[in-house]
Copies of this chain bind each other. A is one copy, B any other.
Amino acid sequence: MFEFTLQAQSGRARAGTFSTPHGDLLTPVFAPVGTAATVKALTPAQLHDLGATLVLSNTYHLYLRPGDELVRDLGGLHQFMQWPGPLLTDSGGFQVFSLSDTRKIDADGVTFKSHIDGSLHRFTPEKSILIQENLRPDIIMAFDECPPPLDRAYNEIALARTHAWAARCLAAKTRPDQALFGIAQGGIFPDLRAQSARRLASLGFPGYAIGGLAVGETKAEMHAMLDVMDAELPAHKPRYLMGVGSPEDLVNSVARGVDIFDCVLPTRLARNHAALTRTGRLNLKNAPFARDPLPVEPGCACYCCVHFTRAYVRHLVVANEILAAVLLTLHNVHLLLTLMREMRAAILAGTFAAYASDFLSTYRGTQGTDGTLGTQALSAR
């Protein structure tokens, strides 16, 4: 259980298998996010049909609502949300820092107010592990602090805390059927990132996450940090880049040795009328699509694109129909999962560099949202 086997490398890109109690993950793998124990707008059956294997859910959200003890009493998260495959929960650390109105950090943990009703709560490393053991996913995450990436002084303090908390999480963990991943932090500072990777590796986790990226730094800074992580993290364990999921980031990160990803992007964009495509994003609310007989992405094999026109999807968006979110979510998740399968096949075939170069040469990210991206970042490896 929790064996990670590397099948192939192509450049620094890796194809592997990570075994879990609920099935093997073929990496690189992208996890759609089921924040509140549901990948928004999809049934588990639809998610399964898309070929999803790993699904992420949020400790912070489930702790507040419906409560981790309720989920435990109803048989755990797999049973509760009826996802038969591998599940991962984050530690709640990121949400405490990003969603909570008020938070007070001390050496022992974090006191925060619920974003739902303002009630007061406290997370410690031990509490985060207890909640995640109640939820009972296959992969759980160490409780970490996610500081602003550019503030060196803060990052040094936070990193010491994150490392101490990682050790406490390991000590608190009791279940053999869950793998606890450590989370490396360190902002945009190569020496802190290297220090974090080495410190966590010395603690001996079955997998390592890269936290604190895709939170405001530039693409070049993110890529530089991934290069450090790739060099410093143990090669024989899976690496999980948290919160990353734009097509270009997935390609650029797999190119830098990352194995596991999660992101709300495909599902959140869908509920905001946007489709991810191999050439960039489309906002289906736009008037030019009103009579467009093409599918959202010509050539795409997803249920949305095989059946429906852009004109129909735009109509659903304008009429505020639930089916708009459903169809665009199906499409966006399909695209990212297909991209991961293609990258894995290219790695196994030893042709990843050509695949990535081809993909990035036709992909146009969204300026402002994604910042700069593309081929020059990849060739900078």
Show the binding face of A for B, using Cβ within 8 Å.
Answer: 36-38, 40-45, 65-66, 70, 73-74, 80-82, 290-291, 293, 303, 307-309, 311-312, 314-316, 318-319, 321-323, 325-327
A73 to B321, CA, bound (A): 22
- Listed from nearest, the 5 A-B pairs whose CB atoms lie closest are A66-B315, A41-B322, A38-B323, A82-B307, A36-B319
A316 / chain B contacts, CB cutoff of 8 Å: 36, 38
Contact residue among B38, B42, B291, B323 (Cβ-Cβ distance under 8 Å from A42): B323
Expressed in whole angstroms, the minimum distance between the Cβ of A318 and any Cβ of chain B is 7
**Are A44's CB and B307's CB within 8 A?**
yes
Contact residue among B43, B65, B81, B311 (Cβ-Cβ distance under 8 Å from A74): B311
A307 / chain B contacts, CB cutoff of 8 Å: 44, 82
**Are A80's CB and B312's CB within 8 A?**
yes
A314 / chain B contacts, CB cutoff of 8 Å: 66
User: Which residue, A38, A303, A308, A316, has most C-beta atoms of chain B within 10 A?
Assistant: A38
Expressed in whole angstroms, the minimum distance between the Cβ of A165 and any Cβ of chain B is 28
Contact residue among B81, B290, B312 (Cβ-Cβ distance under 8 Å from A81): B312
**Are A41's CB and B291's CB within 8 A?**
no
A82 to B304, CA, bound (A): 11
